Structure formats: C-alpha cells, structure tokens
Amino acid sequence: MSEKEMSMRLEDRAARFINRELSWLAFNERVLAEAWEKRNPPLERLKFLAITASNLDEFFMVRVGGLQMLAARGSRRKDPAGMTPREQLAEIARRTRAMVKTQHACYAECIVPALEAGGICAACVDDLSKAEMSHLERVFEQEILPLLTPRAIGPDEPFPSLPGLTIHLGVRFHSPSDEGNGESMGVVALPRGMPRFCAVPGRNGYVYVAAENLIEAFVDRLFPGREIVETFFFRITRNADLSVREDLAGDLLAQMREVLTERRLSDVVRLELKSPLSAAARSRLAEAFEIEREQIYEAAGPMDFSGFHSLVEMPGFDELKIEPWSPAPSPAAPPHMSIFEAVARRDILLFHPYESFDPVLRLVEEAASDPDVLAIKQILYRTSRRSPVVEALKRAAANGKQVTALVELKARFDEARNIEWAEALERAGVQVIHGVRHLKTHAKVCLVVRRESSGIRRYVHFGTGNYNEQTARIYSDVGWMTCREEYGADASAFFNMITGRTQPLKFQRLAAAPLGLRPRLLELIRDEAQRARAGQRGHIMAKVNSLADPEIIEALYEASRAGVKIELSVRGICCLRPGVPGLSENISVCSVIDRYLEHARIFWFHRGGEEAVFISSADWMPRNLDRRIELMVFIPDRSSAERLKHILRICLDDTEQGWRLLPDGRYVRRRSESGKNLRSQKMFQREAERTARRARGERKTVFEPHRPSANRR
C-alpha cells in the first residue's frame, strides 16, 4: 500500500491497525531469517529453526485453535484490522504454508550442508553397513522397543485418541484376519522422553539416525504376521485455547486439573504429514481427526524441528556453536556481602542475562535462613523444574518464617508444574494462593520483611521476568531491588490487595493492572502530547514484547500528530502502523532478534525535562492491561534510570540485529548509513564484563556504559 493510499484510508479504522496474528507470523519469519543467516554458526542456525517450529506449535494450539472455535460458531466479528475469523484463518493458512516450505528449504539448503561440513550428519538406514545395522538393532531391541505401544485399528474401528505434538508412525497393512476391505491401520507413537537421535558408532564426528526412522526400519517387529502396504509419519496439534470456568463454584486447583485433561482430548487444529504418502492414508487421517483440507500441512523433510534442540545442546562441536557469553557478577551485590547490606547501601538495577541472576536468588535464600527475617511474600508465574526459589521458600517456612506464595495456576503450558509446586509448598507450611479468579497474576515481585536495629525494614525486588534461574540465562530482562520505604509500603499493599481480595488502594510509586495501569499509561502519553502542543519537546521511548492494545495505539497516534517523537522497540506483535503521513509519521518501530529473547519492558517519558522511567511486567496488550494483575514501577534512582534509558537507546539503535517495521506491516533489516553496525546484545555483554572487571580492580562503579547515550542528560 502506497503512502498516498494509506493516507486516504486514515478514516477507515481497520486501516490503522495491523492484524495481530499476521504480525505474530511476521515475528516468526524474522526468527526464521536468523536460521538462514550464514554469519551464524551452523548449530545456532539450527537453534533458530527449532525455535520457529516450537513457536508455530504454540501459535496453532492457542491462536489458531481459538479462531477455529469462533469460525465454527459462525462468528463474523471483525478484529481491529477489519478481518473476520474465517478471513484470518485463510490468510494464516497461506502464510504458514509458505513458512513451512521455507523452514524445510532452510534446513536442506543452508543448515544440513554446514552441519555435514562440521561433522554432524544424518544417516539413511538403507546406507548403513551390516555392522552398523546390527548395533542399531540392539539399540532398538533394548532401549526403544520396550517403550513402544503399537495399536492396530480395523477398517470400521474408531481411531484411538492420540497425544498432540508427538510424531506417530502410521502403517497400512493387509492381514488375512481383516474383514471388510481387508485393510487396516496401525499407529506407533514416538515415546516422550526418549532421545530423538541414535548415534551410529565408528564414524568420524556425529552420525545419527532419527528415532522415528529406526522404528520404521523395524516396524515388522511391531506388527508381525501382517503384510505392510505403506508406512508414513504424521503429527497432530490439538486446541489448547481452553479456559477454566471461573464463574462456577468450586476449587480452582481441581478445575485446572480438568482443563489439563480436556486439553489432551481437545479438537485437532492441524495435521502434519511427511510426504510422500498415499491418498488413502491422507483420507483416513483427515476423517479420523475430523479436519478439513486447509488444516493439513505436508512437509518435505523431517517432522518436528523443535526436537532438534538436543542436537544444538549436545557437548562438543564448539566450532559450530556461538561464542559463549557468561553472566557477569553485579558489582553492586558482591558475593562476600549480605544482599540486605548491599540493597541498604543503594538501589540495585540488574540486567539479565548479561549480569547474573544470583542476587535475586540470594535475596530469597538469605531470607530463608536469616533469623531477623519475619516474612517473605512472592509471586511465582513460571519457575524451573528444580527451582531454588521454591526450595528456599519451603526452607523459610520450616524455619518459622511467615511465607506467602501466589502460584499462578493458569500460566499457560506450565499449569501442571505449578500445581505440583503449589501442593509441595502447602505441604511445607507455605501459605499458598492459587491465583485470582478471572485474572492471571503476571506481576513479578518479591517482598522480604526484616527486623533491624532501626525497626522493620522491607526489601523488594521488582522484575520484568520470571523467578526462573534457567530462563534468566536466555531471556533479556531487568530487575530492580530497593528498600525504600514507599516501595515496601506499596508492595505490602499490593500483596494485601491480592490475598485479602480488597479494592486496590492508591499506590505511591506503582501502577497496577487491571484498574490503574492503563489510565496511568494513557496519562503519560497524553501529557507528552499536551506538552508538544504547547511548543515543548515531546519524546517517548518504550520497549515491549508486544503492542496490540487499540486504545494505547490510538493515544500514540494522537501524540504523533501533536509532534511527539515516539521510538518503540517491539520484539514480537505490533499492530501499530508507523510512519504513515498524517497519522504516525513521528513514530518508528524496531524489533531486535538475537541470541537472547528480548523480554524487558522499559518505558521512558521526557516530561518537559523531568524524565520518568518505568519498568513493567506488562506488555501493551488488552490481556495485560485488562485481564491480568500486572505492575509498572517508577524508578526514582538516577543511576538506575540513566542505565535503563541507555538500554532503550542502544536497542533502538541496533543496526545489526534490528529490523524496521514499515507502514504496510513488512519488516526490513536495519543497516547503518555509516557502515559501522551496532549490535545491542553484544554491546551489553561487553559493558557488563568491563564493569565487572573494573569493580574487581577496586574502581567503585555500578555501571560503566560503552559510550554515552545520545540523549543522556
């Protein structure tokens, strides 16, 4: 769409927004572009390919599943971009088919040759020697066969319920005992937890056979006495857009268990097939899973690229991997000093994974053992499988502390783990809150109450990411630790509001969704617009994962028309159209895709020179602002605020891993006009390392930037 056509359609509200689902697909296309990027080492390319596959799985389970439910009910309600559910599904199908084709082309043309050159090769069963096949036969008999459960299905029998996101080997066979047309089917699921790849011994490098191909090679052992007509692979995706009926009476934990059961039996929203396969097999599967032709996706190569993560993570082959970056210790929280002493000295801003997550863990672990700590209150949204945070909370309860944990049972795809943690914490004596009805609690906050010589002091950690030490090494997040009285009071009021189910109070330094965060954001945006109309400088910088809220977008459009310069770093979904004359010519949007997942939410407002900086758990989406409990935290400490501003500036200036959003919804790579590209994540890593080295050299510093930001005061 040309600028003139865009301008002519400004009054058409639908033309002002990019469809959310298509914007998400554009994000996954940017991730896929990293798999094509030859400057990335081969295993890094494979990692990005695997990420696109797991992203697409979740997209179909949640977004496509929900749209198919709406379409099945006959809904013609249009989204802000003016598309009905059926129109969205048609365009999604077109884009995803092209994406799947590109995934397989990338694997075959770009990744496989590079891996083979580095010594990692997939072997064809037919090309193996007798000795190699004998070894793999023993592996099959001893390690795989005991885990398999072959299931035969007669011509007139209903298809069994099969798990989603699992590779299945399908078999068509003829048996004298079969009735009717004399042709039946068999199904064998690739067992979960079983290694995806089997090493071929005696070869240089790492030569492997995929487990599904090994099962196919010995399929006659699974269905003895039957004449096999055809073997093929397929994989189904089930709808996961199922919600607990919180309007009904009953225990929330029990209702979440029911949701998990329903998810295992929900409708199939996608059928993946590995071609070639017969029309008879395709027809039988489509009938069995009650799906239409447009829901079938055929792959020319391996199924389930998400399973290739095990190749990426295997030891050795360092020359095929990215340069390792290790988190630097935070100079503000040296290991020899109590975390309480460190926070009492100064507010601490942490930037993960460039800086270690250790100070956050130490806050909970020291609190669990410190005899002066009276209480700990914490929100757990997503945690690791062997969470040290959970263990510390259990230990704190055993030591007689008053421990309260809000465990969000509705954290999608982590429900089962959170149910287990909630029950384990309750057994340990922790007071557990199972979330809040009708809302997801997504805020990231930990409060420690400690008795000191001067009286009761509260220590608080606010973050943009979860209390998960594993994802803290691969997600880019910020956290802020303080013992300022007003923040401790706000944190206490926040927890009391949740546990006591009371009406929210007016916080001193926080804004909380679903009632206070949206009005505060709109107030800040409109204040910049008002200042610009009065002839003052208006400037907004923000970093979010997603921007989809129509009211926030309209406020940004209005600020742009008033003359406010708006610079946005939006990793994923962005429904705003930047750079449209008469609407958003003062708005620019970039997206950074690199080795770490950009996850921090940081907002900066010029405010006539009295700059205001915030961190938040919330993206600018309706679900975050209206249907979740979220926090936005004002950062009063100048050093922390300046560093957050620096982080924003560098992300916005990334010309190596950054993409620019065009008015028509397309993204193009950003490149430096001077020829000197800036890679934000690499700069942040070097800054953290240099600051840590200088701190060890007894130079007192909390943060040493690589270069001053262009907008620093």
What three-state secondary structure class fits 387? coil
CB-CB contact of 232 with 273 (8 Å): yes
Residue given tokens 């926070």 in the structure block: 343
| Angle ∠(631,382,570) on CA atoms, nearest 5 | 55
Q: Tell me the C-alpha distance between 395 and 365, whole Å.
A: 9
Q: Tell me the C-alpha distance between 569 and 652, whole Å.
A: 6
Q: Tell me the C-alpha distance between 96 and 60, whole Å.
A: 10
Q: Tell me the C-alpha distance between 340 and 616, whole Å.
A: 23
Pick the closest to residue 183 from 156, 219, 213 (CA basis): 156
Residue given tokens 């107030």 in the structure block: 523
Q: Tell me the C-alpha distance between 619 and 608, whole Å.
A: 25
**How is residue 139 written in tokens?**
């592996």
β-bridge partners, 375: 402, 449
CB-CB contact of 447 with 460 (8 Å): yes
CB-CB contact of 36 with 103 (8 Å): no
- Show the 3-state SS of 618-681: CCECHHHHHCEEEEEEECCCHHHHHHHHHHHHHHHCCCCCEEEECCCCCEEECCCCCCCCCCHH
CB-CB contact of 164 with 192 (8 Å): no
CB-CB contact of 103 with 49 (8 Å): yes
Active site residues: 442
Strands 268-274, 296-299: pairing is: parallel
Element (H, E) at 257: helix 252-264
Phi, psi of 326 (to 5 degrees): -110, 140
Q: Tell me the C-alpha distance between 196 and 303, whole Å.
A: 11
| Angle ∠(201,35,575) on CA atoms, nearest 5 | 145
Neighbours of 93 (CB within 10 A): 17
Q: Tell me the C-alpha distance between 51 and 53, whole Å.
A: 5
DSSP state of 226: -
What three-state secondary structure class fits 59? helix
Burial of 130 (0-12, 13-18, 19+ CB in 10 A): exposed
Taking the alpha carbons at both ends of the chain, their separation in whole angstroms is: 40
Q: Tell me the C-alpha distance between 428 and 398, whole Å.
A: 7
Question: Cis peptide before 353, with omega less than 30 degrees from 0?
Answer: yes
Is the four-CA dihedral 361, 362, 368, 373 of positive or negative sign?
A: negative
607 φψ region: left (φ > 0), alpha (ψ -120 to 50), beta (else): left
Pick the closest to residue 343 from 56, 621, 640, 704 (CA basis): 640
